């Protein structure tokens, strides 16, 4: 057994033991290693931030787990979930989306999840960068293989958006809103961004990667003021830190529920759920498209996820752009 899986098995034993005490003898028997080897693994877990006490004649007791995004901790609680059937965790990577796309190209299964503590080249849309410091936020990419047309796959951005909104509400009780096409806002500031990437042929999707970046515990002084849109984190808005692990687990569960529903009932339920989180419907907005700015009343989403805007000359269907409320 590799040392990391030895540690994962010890953590699993702690979780499965009702009174929380696991004796050294029990661990050494389960793992098939010496008591000294067990002690070394306990020390290694302590170094990772696990608080483990040793009580004579009772055994080891896990007092507190650090807010680490380990595959083992993430998988616990995702028993029947398609999403998270395989989880890869990087301490540092260029971009979880880039990693998931490569794994998708080499046949990784649907539901694969790539998570990183920090990204050195986190991607936004149109070649922009996503600020991805370590230890505070969540950077996750999910590989899907839906049997839909390439054109339809853009609807999946709205699935990620609804999953993030539901998770924010579940974890903090706060009510997020959405900004077309890929932003989640709290009190009008961006707290999460989504980037879907796809590999496809003319009439067939090979795979889609849902990229989700959520500002969880990033403090105000780590957020630059010169961003395209004012930004915040869940901790700033909630007034207390949030568990990255707890948030990540809920998020993967929500994506799983929504994706099953999407496969069964199509995109309309997810698009309607997104519309319910959007408080700009019926208000005047401006959309910066490639060469022009369109101004009008936002009326909702078309069935493919295009933004519908009523202008002086008729209803425009917008496929890509940056939206802002008029007056800001
Ligand atoms: C996005 O692009 O909002 C998509 C962000 C997707 C990030 C995730 S993290 C996991 C996965 N792996 C990746 O490599 N990417 C995905 P866009 O709408 O283009 O917004 C990018 C702009 O937001 C930047 O140009 C900045 O102005 C601003 N920005 C950068 N980092 C930010 C942050 N952490 N929070 C808020 N705004 C940020």
Q: Give the start-to-end residue ranges of the domains of the chain.
A: 3-64, 71-277, 284-325
Specify the pLDDT at position 66. Answer: 80
pLDDT in tens, the chain (328 residues): 556 678 878 988 988 887 789 999 999 999 999 999 999 999 988 988 889 999 998 999 999 888 888 898 898 878 889 999 999 999 999 999 999 999 999 999 999 999 999 999 999 998 999 999 999 999 999 999 999 999 889 899 999 999 999 999 999 999 999 999 999 999 999 999 999 999 999 899 999 999 999 999 999 999 988 888 899 999 999 999 999 999 999 999 999 999 999 999 999 999 999 999 999 999 999 999 988 999 999 999 999 899 999 999 999 999 999 998 896 5
Computed on alpha carbons and rounded to an integer, the radius of gyration of the chain in Å comes to 22
**Model pLDDT, residue 3:** 62
pLDDT of residue 239: 95
What's the CATH fold of domain 71-277? BirA Bifunctional Protein; domain 2 (3.30.930)
Q: What local confidence, expressed as pLDDT, does residue 162 receive? A: 98
Q: Would you say 224 and 263 are in contact if contact means Cβ atoms under 8 Å apart?
A: no
CA of 131 to the centre of ligand 1 (A): 6
What token pair was written down for 277? Answer: 């989180």
pLDDT for 18: 77
Q: Which positions ≥6 away from 46 have C-beta within 8 Å? A: 52
Is residue 173 within 8 A of residue 249, CB to CB? The reply is no
The answer for residues whose C-beta is within 8 angstroms of residue 319's C-beta and 6 or more apart is 306, 307
Ligand 1 atom 37: the closest Cα is on which residue? Answer: 231
**Neighbouring C-beta atoms of residue 119, cutoff 10 Å:** 25
Q: State the Cα–Cα distance between residues 248 and 256, nearest whole angstrom.
A: 12
Q: Does domain 3-64 have CATH number 2.40.30.10?
A: no
Ligand 1, closest atom to CA 116? 10
- CA 278 from chain centre, in angstroms, equals 20
Query: Which pLDDT score, from 0 to 100, does residue 1 have?
Result: 55
Write out pLDDT tens, residues 239-265: 999 999 999 999 999 999 999 999 999
Nearest alpha-carbon partner for 63 in 75, 49, 80, 74 = 49
| pLDDT for position 263 | 95
pLDDT at 16: 84
Whether cis (ω within 30° of 0) applies to the bond prior to 100 is: no
The topology under which CATH files domain 284-325 is SH3 type barrels. (2.30.30)
Pocket test residue of 131, 213, 218, 234 for ligand 1, highest count of atoms within 8 A of CB = 213
Closest atom, ligand 1, to C-alpha of 226 = 27
Q: Six-digit token pair at 164? A: 């993030």
Nearest to 301 by CA among 328, 266, 270, 264: 270
Q: Distance between CA atoms of 239 and 15, rounded to whole angstroms?
A: 30
Contact 180, 125 (CB under 8 A): no
Substitution site in 90, 120, 121, 124 for ligand 1 pocket (most atoms within 8 Å of beta carbon): 124
Ligand 1 shell residues, CB under 6 Å: 95-97, 119, 122-126, 128-131, 139-141, 182, 190, 193-195, 211-213, 215, 227-228, 231
Give the Å distance between the CA of 145 and the centre of ligand 1: 24
Taking the CA atoms of 17, 21, 25 and 27 in sequence, report the sign of the dihedral they define: positive
């Amino acid at each position: 057994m590799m040392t990391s899986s030895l540690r994962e098995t010890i953590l699993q034993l702690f979780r499965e033991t009702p009174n929380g005490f696991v004796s050294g003898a029990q661990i050494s028997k389960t793992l098939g290693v010496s008591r000294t080897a067990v002690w070394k693994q306990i020390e290694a877990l302590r170094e990772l931030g696990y608080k483990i006490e040793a009580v004579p004649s009772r055994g080891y007791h896990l007092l507190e787990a650090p807010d680490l995004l380990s595959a083992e901790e993430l998988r616990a609680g995702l028993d029947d979930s398609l999403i998270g059937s395989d989880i890869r965790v990087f301490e540092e990577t260029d971009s979880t989306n880039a990693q998931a796309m490569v794994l998708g190209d080499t046949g990784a299964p649907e539901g694969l999840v790539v998570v990183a503590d920090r990204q050195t080249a986190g991607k936004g849309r149109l070649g922009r960068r996503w600020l991805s410091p370590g230890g505070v936020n969540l950077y996750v990419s999910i590989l899907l293989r839906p049997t839909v047309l390439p054109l339809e796959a853009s609807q999946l951005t709205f699935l990620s958006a609804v999953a993030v909104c539901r998770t924010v509400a579940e974890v903090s009780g706060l009510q997020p809103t959405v900004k077309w096409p890929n932003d989640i806002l709290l009190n009008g500031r961006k707290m999460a961004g989504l980037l879907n990437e796809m590999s496809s042929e003319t009439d067939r999707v090979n795979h889609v990667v849902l990229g989700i970046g959520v500002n969880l515990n990033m403090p105000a002084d780590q957020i630059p003021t010169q961003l395209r849109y004012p930004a915040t984190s869940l901790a700033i808005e909630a007034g207390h830190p949030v568990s990255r692990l707890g948030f990540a687990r809920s998020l993967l569960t929500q994506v799983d529920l929504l994706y099953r529903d999407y496969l069964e009932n199509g995109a309309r339920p997810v698009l309607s759920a997104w519309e319910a989180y959007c408080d700009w419907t019926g208000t005047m907005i401006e959309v910066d498209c490639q060469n022009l700015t369109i101004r009008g009343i936002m009326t909702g989403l078309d069935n493919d996820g295009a933004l519908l805007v009523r202008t002086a000359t008729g209803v425009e269907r917008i496929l890509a752009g940056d939206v802002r409320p008029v007056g800001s």
